[in-house]
Amino acid sequence: MKSKTVIAAAALAVAAAITGCDRSETTLLAAANTAGNLALSTWFAIEEPDGQVKTALKEIVAVTVDASAKIGGGASYVNALTPVVQEIAASYTGITPAQRNLVNVGASVILSGIDTYIDSNERLRTNAELASKVVAAFGKGCLTALERSENSPAAQCIRQAHRVMSLQYDVEAKAFRPL
C-alpha cells in the first residue's frame, strides 16, 4: 500500500511543480486541477475501484470543496476532514469492508494531495480565499478523474507503468520477470 501512495504522491508532486516560477492565480488553479486529476487517476489505475467507491469519493470531493471556506489556507485538510470522511464511508452500508477501505484510502489521496499542494506555496497557506479556489480546482480535477472511463488511454498507460514497476530485471535471463 505504501508504494501505491508514493506513486500517487509522485504524480501530485509533478503537478505541483507545473507552477514553476509562475505563481499567478490562473496558473495555480490550472495546476491544482491537474494535480487533482493526476492524483486520483494514478490511484485509480493502481487500485481500480468500482462504481460504489467512486460514488462515495464524489461525495467526499463535494464535502471537501464545501468545507474549504471554513478550513482556510493554513490548516490540514487531512486533520480537519478525516472524521467526516470516515462518517461518509460508514454511511455506505451496502459496501464491503474492502470497498470501505478503498473509500478511506481514496479520500486520503484527495485530502493529502490538497495539503501537499497548499503546502507547496506560501501564498496559499496565508490566503484563505485563494486556497479555497485552489481546493475547488483540485476537486474539479478529481471529479474529471472520477468521470473518465477506466479504459481511457491515460488509465491504461498508468496501469501498464504500474505492472512494469512490479518487475525485476534478471541479469542471467536478460529479461524482466515478476518479483
Model confidence pLDDT, tens digit, residues 7-54: 555 555 555 555 444 568 899 999 999 999 988 888 887 888 888 999
Cβ-contact 61, 146 below 8 angstroms: yes
Residue 109 binned pLDDT confidence (cut-offs 50, 70, 90):
very high
58-72, 101-115, 131-145, 152-166: segment of lowest average pLDDT: 152-166
Query: Model's pTM, two decimal places?
Result: 0.76
- Return the pLDDT at 165: 73
Mean pLDDT (whole number) for 48-66 = 92
pLDDT(4) > 60:
no
